[in-house]
Amino acid sequence: MNTAKDLFIIAMDPRPEFAVGQGDLSLALAGAELIDLIGAGAVTVDDDLIVPGGPPTPDDQLLGEAVARLTRQPPYERIEDWLWRRGRDLSAAYQTALEQDGELTRKRSGRLSLGSERMEPADTPSRRRAVDRWKEREPVLTALASVVGIDGGRSDIEGDLDEAVTTVVAAVHDAVMELEAVRQRRTIENAAFANLWRGP
């Protein structure tokens, strides 16, 4: 199971109400990787610290990279710090990997061939698995999707998650909120700067 890839595929939904920012998605993808590593026994969570576990190395290239980037000596890395460090440009890395694997295709929008291109999930077993998990309201995928604004009216499912996964989802939520606060602050600063140059 690759929750990060499934989340990326679900986030590719073209409906405007499901539009997800790359920064938000990157943070959620880092959280999804961490949850899959917990499930594989590659890491455990101690309070808010990521403690490397046994030797399992995933077959997936991006998950393998995540394992290789773990802090293996105490003091271990905090979940929040991991999300920011691992999440940097992670959505672009997943797009590239999925495109190389034939999981994404380029589609032209509009009737003319001159229209701009957009990426769309190809009809593959991976896409069908992601859609099935989404339709079944699989708790981990649903929780992470909800954090980045893809909820489709789904109810709160945190009660269905174990403690370690709940801790990771909460950290992703906090990081996304922090990113949104930074965006809002920049918008206000830019507006104030523009008004200063316009003058009275």
pLDDT for position 153 = 46
Spans of the chain, pLDDT less than 50:
112-115, 153, 155
pLDDT for position 158 = 57
Asked whether the beta carbons of 48 and 80 are under 8 A apart, the reply is yes
Number of domains in the chain: 1
Range of the domain at 67: 3-108+116-198
What pTM did the predictor assign? 0.85
pLDDT for position 29 = 97
pLDDT for position 149 = 87
Q: How many CB atoms lie within 10 A of CB 129?
A: 15
Angle between helices 125-135 and 3-11 (to 10 degrees): 80
For the chain, how big is the Rg over CA atoms in Å? 19
Percentages helix, strand, coil for the chain (3-state, rounded to 5) are: 60, 10, 30
Three-state DSSP state, 44:
strand
Strands of 57-152, DSSP E: 104-108, 117-121
Asked whether the beta carbons of 179 and 24 are under 8 A apart, the reply is yes
Torsions phi, psi for 118 (to 5 deg): -140, 155
